[in-house]
Structure 1
Amino acid sequence: MAKIDVLLPVKNGVAYLAEAIDSIINQNFSDWRLIVLDHGSTDGSYEMALDYAKADQRIVVFQFLDAVGLSGLLNKGLELCQCDFVMRHDADDVAFPDRMEKSLAAFARHPHIDVIGGHALKIDGAGKETGLIKVPTDIARLQAAFFFKNPIIHPTVMMRFSTIQALAMRYGIDFINLLPESEQLVVNGLAEDYYLFGQLGVLGKCLNIDEVLIKYRWHGNNVGATKFLDQISLSIKISRYLAASFSARHSIERFDPAPFCTYGGTVLEIVPNVSHHDLAGRFNKMSDTLSCVLGKSNGLSRELAYRKVLSTRHTLCMLIKYMFFTLKNSRELDEWYAVKNWVTRKIKRRQFVSVELLDQ
């Protein structure tokens, strides 16, 4: 049994697969098993993975033609695991050589944490560096951030396998069972990682370390690029599900995080019958609730301060509030992108993504 089982799903990813597998082989830490999960590739990916398996006995390859979506494929992989930790890796990303070492060291420092993620260096299809994707590293801020977006980069993650077994964790299903069955979701794709890690976030079991763990390849075939609106629609449902689960766990009144969310750098438009004053009132209620339950901290204060910037939909006011926000807080590119995207869309008068607000 290896200490780490690496789950690598692939479907027609031959263009980058060799680089992805090589980055696992070249890890400084050697006690691992790479489980390649092929989803019916027709471009030679399956055959390439088999060639790697012949050359390195730590690599095994399985083909699951009947798996339902990425959730189903990853769940097939979880059933194959026999390890202390499960690590995720994508067929088009590149792990830095010390990725495993850094994640294991973080688990040793934080024995109560079950999921470790980190930052990612963004690259394009040709491997050119295009920016740094930073994630929240403060635990309280991270727990709050789950209500507004997915604050964990899926292919940077390592998970404690004993917790996966204890909670019967699987992608796409509700495994924390804090809500009645009628309110539970089934997520077969598009945001299966957000659904899984968000549930653990509700339990306070996730942490991002202040380390760059992978090169994250962003190209035209990424799900976020090809099915953007569908992904946003599903993410809204997940955000509301997480908030409802959090409220049920702590026996507090429910709040609606959706108007303050930024999925993929998109600020949601509010429906016409909701006033800006009402939106500000909803934010204050949510802010008070989170501060009361999670306790005051610099990380939480920062997250809520940014969400307060978004509680106005007047373009100039939002821009001015954001400028004042950056005087007190470090600037993060994804936050600026969301504000800039709102201003640009407003000026060009493009159609907005709308969201129905729950009655509170």
Structure 2
Amino acid sequence: MSLPTVSVIMSVYNGAELAPAAVRCILDQSFADFELIAIDNGSFKDDTRAVLNRIVNETGDRRLRVVELDQNIGLAGALNHGIGLARGRYIARQDHDDLSAPTRLEKQVRFLDANPGCGLLGTRAEIWVGDEPTGRYHDHPLDNGTLQVDLLVNNPFVHSSVMLRRSALDEVGLYTMDPRRQPPEDFELWSRIARAFEVANLPERLLAYREMPASMSRDGANPFLEKLLLLCAENIAWWNGLERPDQSCRDAAALLHAAYEHVSLTADIAAICARVDGACAAIATKFGSADVDPRREQVLANLRHHFMHARKLPDWTKSLISLSRNLPVPAALKNWAKARLSR
């Protein structure tokens, strides 16, 4: 039996309502040489497992394989489990609440076959709420140079749209299972891939990405933000040849995310810009400067802009916000302090 070209990995957790459409959008792809590994990640609130097995029985499609986990092992754990079972030379992601266009796999395989240096390929995406398009889009940059600079700061890939080269995962490893570094497990993995391989996005919107309702209010520390800042600081440090981030790398990450409470009281904008400029220069040396240089100027301009805003905070206010990371300072007081920046 020949091996499939693509292994599509879908982790499903309490997704009985939306998963059938996600599965069928893959089974109906114009590119047929794939396997779809659908993982019931310990669902307990609905009949996800029965729904997935029903699709297998109804379609009789041997490309679909259902994997049943008795307990939830987290998204990263489920994806790593699926990758361990995958047989394709390309690994594609599909979330159970998103929808792929019929030509998505075909266009991604064609691009990766033609660009052997690319280890990570995403697509642009429409943003939906429920079953309705919003008229908003995730139109991330396309070229490697711009994306490499953007990855210093944030995640310019829609997770459910990506296709990965299996050899890239063999070289850099799978999704991190370290709770101190995920979520965002996707950004953490993309960062490691981008250090060794080119990356790209296709210009077409080949995914319908559903925004799911979530509370944005939070009292106390934001663990996602803190992990994001750590990864950004590590990326800047790595391209500068540092074993670990120094204060300037950490300050750069905080400024670029407008996380002023994480900026040190002695932040040196010259040293901060030098770290980001050094990272961009290293990227340009490895991949070429044509697409790197314009993005570098934008990032440096953003750094200086946010530094000027951060300086508007008096020292006692900075100290208050800094202390609030570990002390139960009332949210209203913290928000008042941050609001002074907009005056």
TM range (shorter): 0.7 to 0.9
Shift of 1:308: 2.4
Counterpart mapping for 1:226-245 below 5 A: 229-245=222-238
Aligned 8 A contact 2:19 2:96 in 1: yes
Show CA shifts across 1:208-237 (max 9, x none): 222222011112159x99999322111111
Q: Distance in 1 between matches of 2:96 and 2:206?
A: 15
Match for residue 330 of structure 1? none
Q: Distance in 1 between matches of 2:217 and 2:112?
A: 33
Match for residue 174 of structure 2? 170
Shift of 1:302: 2.8
Counterpart mapping for 1:191-230 below 5 A: 191-221=184-214, 229-230=222-223
Match for residue 271 of structure 1? 263
Supply the AA of the counterpart residue of 2:196. L
Shift of 1:65: 3.0
Aligned 8 A contact 1:49 1:61 in 2: yes
Report the secondary structure of 2:186's partner residue.
helix
Q: Does 1:41 align with 2:7?
A: no
Shift of 1:17: 1.1
Counterpart mapping for 1:1-360 below 5 A: 1-42=3-44, 43-54=46-57, 55=59, 56-66=61-71, 68-165=73-170, 167=171, 169-172=173-176, 189-221=182-214, 229-248=222-241, 256-261=248-253, 266-269=257-260, 271=263, 273-274=265-266, 278-295=268-285, 297-311=289-303, 312-313=305-306, 314=308, 349=336, 351=338
TM-score (norm 1): 0.75
Q: Distance in 2 between matches of 1:214 and 1:44?
A: 26
Supply the AA of the counterpart residue of 1:302. P
Supply the AA of the counterpart residue of 1:34. L
Shift of 1:196: 0.8
Structure number with greater Rg is 2
Report the secondary structure of 1:119's partner residue.
strand
Shift of 1:305: 2.5
**Would the alpha carbon gap of residues 285 and 244 (structure 1) be closer, same or farther in structure 2, given more than 3 Å must change?**
closer
Shift of 1:104: 0.8
Gaps of 5+ in 1: 174-184, 318-347, 353-360
**Would the alpha carbon gap of residues 198 and 271 (structure 1) be closer, same or farther in structure 2, given more than 3 Å must change?**
closer
For the aligned residue pairs, the C-alpha RMSD in angstroms reads 3.3
Q: Distance in 1 between matches of 2:139 and 2:270?
A: 28
Q: Percent identical across equivalent pairs?
A: 20
Q: Distance in 2 between matches of 1:207 and 1:84?
A: 18
Aligned 8 A contact 1:70 1:188 in 2: no
Report the secondary structure of 2:296's partner residue.
helix
Supply the AA of the counterpart residue of 1:115. L
Q: Distance in 2 between matches of 1:300 and 1:111?
A: 21
**Number of residues paired by the alignment?**
306
**Would the alpha carbon gap of residues 293 and 32 (structure 1) be closer, same or farther in structure 2, given more than 3 Å must change?**
closer
Match for residue 334 of structure 1? none
Report the secondary structure of 1:267's partner residue.
coil
Gaps of 5+ in 2: 312-334
Q: Distance in 1 between matches of 2:28 and 2:337?
A: 47
Match for residue 329 of structure 1? none
